[in-house]
Amino acid sequence: MIRTERLNIIPLPYMDLVRYIQKREGFIKTDEDELKVYDYTVKPMLEEDDEHKHLFYTIWLGYHKGEKIVECGFLRPVNEYGVVEVWIEVKDNERGKGYGKEAINGLSEWAKRENSIKFIGASVEPINKQSKKMLEKCGFQYALDNQGMNIFFKEIN
């Protein structure tokens, strides 16, 4: 678990993740969403014997006063260059209140304890000015454009 000023961020264990996906909770709304999340989370977790690495595949939920405000996580374990990529989704009516920044900073602090992680990356659609501003406030720097996305990195170790 990660604790920030206002959030408790909890990684979903395998069976809770499966139920979360099947119930189409949070950002999971369509068959396409369900299949995509299943492919990025459940399948790799089934193939990974190291349970610690499951934390890099699962969805982390951020709660404030018992209400789920944030969904976030990593796209996969650290790569050979020491990079992990984070993602975040803040509940629509809670955007602009600093929860995204708190969650990204919480994930960054957690990642600092992982010796193999040197950089955290994030991909943002070019039109998403709020997310880019939030990442910059969290210490991320714009690096490049790749496949129509703006790529940001933060050195952590």
118 contacts 157 by C-beta, under 8 angstroms = yes
* Residue 88, C-beta contacts closer than 8 angstroms, at least 6 positions apart: 70, 71, 72, 100, 103, 104, 131
Model pLDDT for residues 59-106, shown as the tens digit of each residue: 999 999 999 999 999 998 999 999 999 999 999 999 999 999 999 999
Give the closest residue to 38 by CA, choosing from 61, 60, 22, 62. Answer: 22
CB neighbours of 74 closer than 8 A, spacing ≥ 6? 55, 56, 57, 84, 85, 86, 87, 107
Q: Is the pLDDT of residue 123 over 80?
A: yes
pLDDT value of position 91? 94
Phi, psi values for residue 97, rounded to 5°: -110, 5
Distance CA 47, CA 136 (A): 35
- 3-class state of residue 144 by DSSP: strand
Q: What is the model's pTM?
A: 0.92
- What pLDDT does 64 receive? 97
Query: Domains, the chain, ranges and CATH?
Result: 2-155 (3.40.630.30)
- What is the pLDDT confidence band of residue 26, given thresholds at 50, 70 and 90? confident
Looking at residue 60, what is its pLDDT?
97
Helix (H, G, I), strand (E, B) or coil at 98: coil
* pLDDT of 150: 97
What does the pLDDT read at residue 33? 85
**pLDDT of 33-55, one tens digit each?**
888 888 989 999 999 888 889 99
DSSP state of 92: G
**Which two tokens mark 35?**
């299949």
